[in-house]
């Protein structure tokens, strides 16, 4: 799994928060309001937590005492996520955190025993099909719902448009699929995997909509987007250099707008008990 600089994760946090599909929280609120479906505290596993932005967004939107278990393999990011963790839930109840360093691609149902929810942000597209199937099996085995946000879907809109946009996007998407990673195919693979294990899956769009107020993020995203495309296809470099200069100038002038499409997924496990 790729490692991410905390500066990049901090830079994108506001755009992530604005993009997430908040309407997917209502089924969770209904589920958590039923005492038979929860323990005293909500226990939330945040996979690939990075700097902890998912917790800072979600914890204040849910009622009740919460205990977050933050998973990441980078000890520095885990430290940052702990220091910046939210302290209270929507109703003022306490929020506590612990960390767990390790490979989230090998998560098991036993590791999720007693969990109320599994969350992740910008994770699915850096997993393989085998890792997603393992995650789906673990959630199904533990009977735990999952809220998996901000998966890239391979579509970019830039205004004003440029003839090179589509070619760079295609090369970037191919870069996202390098090795066995799923990149923009992850959403479909994940939905199919969770459905195979009997879960109900809801998908909602969660696009970044970047304008003049997001110039720093847009600039950093552009550099990474063009750089990855050229790494995948070095033949693009000669045309990409003036393209990037022009795009960065437009960004600095407040003239560039970008829509980076993502999707959020809510997974509700098959109900337990009852006839049949």
Q: What pLDDT sits at residue 53? A: 96
CA dihedral 187, 74, 176, 198 (to 10 degrees): -20
Q: What pLDDT sits at residue 102? A: 84
CATH code at position 263 = 3.40.50.150
Is residue 275 a part of any domain in this protein? no
Range 3-18 average pLDDT: 88
- Please report the DSSP string for 198-255 in residue order: T-EEEEEE--EEE-GGGHHHHHHHHHHHHHHHHHH-GGGHHHHHHHHHHHHHHHHTT-
- Please report the DSSP string for the chain in residue order: -----HHHHHHHHHHHHHHS-GGGHHHHHHHHTSGGG--SSEEEEEET-TTTHHHHHHGGGS-S-EEEEEEES-HHHHHHHHHT---B-TTS-BEEEEEEES-GGG--TGGGTT-SEEEEES-GGGSBHHHHHHHHHHHHHHT--EEEEEEEEEEEEEES--TTHHHHHHHHHHHHTSTTB-GGGHHHHHHHHHHHTT-EEEEEE--EEE-GGGHHHHHHHHHHHHHHHHHH-GGGHHHHHHHHHHHHHHHHTT--EEEEEEEEEEEEPPPPSS--
The rounded distance, in Å, linking the Cα atoms of 194 and 62 is 24
Please state, rounded to an integer, the average pLDDT across all residues of the chain. 93
Asked if pLDDT for residue 274 goes beyond 70, the answer is: no
Is residue 223 a part of any domain in this protein? yes
pLDDT-based confidence at residue 5 (cuts at 50, 70, 90): confident
The tokens for 209 are 């909509």
Q: What is the pLDDT of residues 36-93, one digit of tens each?
A: 555 579 999 999 999 999 999 999 999 999 999 999 999 999 999 999 999 999 999 9
Q: What is the pLDDT of residues 181-223, one digit of tens each?
A: 999 999 999 999 999 999 999 999 999 999 999 999 999 999 9
Q: What pLDDT sits at residue 1? A: 44
Range 235-259 average pLDDT: 98
Range 221-231 average pLDDT: 97
For residue 186, give its domain range: 6-268
Is residue 258 a part of any domain in this protein? yes
By percentage, how much of the chain surpasses pLDDT 90? Answer: 90
Q: What pLDDT sits at residue 275? A: 38
Asked if pLDDT for residue 271 goes beyond 80, the answer is: no
Is residue 274 a part of any domain in this protein? no
Is residue 276 a part of any domain in this protein? no
Asked if pLDDT for residue 123 goes beyond 70, the answer is: yes
Domain count, the chain: 1
Q: What pLDDT sits at residue 35? A: 59
The rounded distance, in Å, linking the Cα atoms of 6 and 2 is 13
The rounded distance, in Å, linking the Cα atoms of 46 and 103 is 13
Is residue 132 a part of any domain in this protein? yes
Is residue 185 a part of any domain in this protein? yes
Range 153-174 average pLDDT: 97
Beta bridge partners of 208: 260
């Amino acid at each position: 799994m790729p490692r991410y600089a905390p500066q990049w994760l901090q830079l994108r946090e506001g755009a992530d928060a604005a993009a997430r599909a908040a309407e997917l929280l209502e089924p969770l609120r209904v589920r958590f309001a039923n005492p038979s479906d929860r323990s005293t505290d909500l226990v939330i596993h945040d996979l690939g937590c990075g700097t902890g932005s998912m917790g800072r967004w979600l914890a204040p939107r849910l009622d009740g005492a919460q205990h977050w278990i933050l998973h990441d393999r980078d000890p520095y990011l885990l430290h940052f996520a702990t220091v910046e963790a939210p302290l209270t839930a929507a109703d003022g109840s306490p929020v506590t955190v612990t960390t767990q360093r390790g490979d989230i691609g090998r998560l098991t149902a036993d590791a999720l025993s007693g969990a109320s929810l599994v969350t992740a942000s910008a994770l699915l597209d850096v997993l393989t099909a085998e890792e997603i199937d393992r995650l789906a099996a673990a959630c199904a085995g533990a009977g735990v719902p999952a809220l998996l946000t901000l998966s890239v879907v391979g579509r970019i809109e830039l205004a004003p448009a440029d003839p090179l946009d589509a070619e760079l996007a295609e090369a970037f998407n191919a870069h996202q699929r390098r090795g066995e990673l799923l990149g923009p195919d992850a959403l479909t693979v994940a939905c199919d995997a969770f459905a195979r294990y009997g879960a109900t899956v809801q998908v909602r769009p969660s696009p970044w909509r970047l304008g003049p107020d997001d110039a720093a993020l847009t600039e950093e995203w552009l550099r990474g987007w063009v750089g990855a495309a050229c790494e995948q296809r070095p033949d693009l470099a000669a045309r990409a250099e003036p393209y990037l200069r022009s795009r960065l100038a437009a960004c600095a002038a407040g003239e560039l707008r970008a829509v980076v499409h993502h999707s959020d997924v809510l997974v509700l496990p098959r109900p337990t008990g009852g006839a049949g």
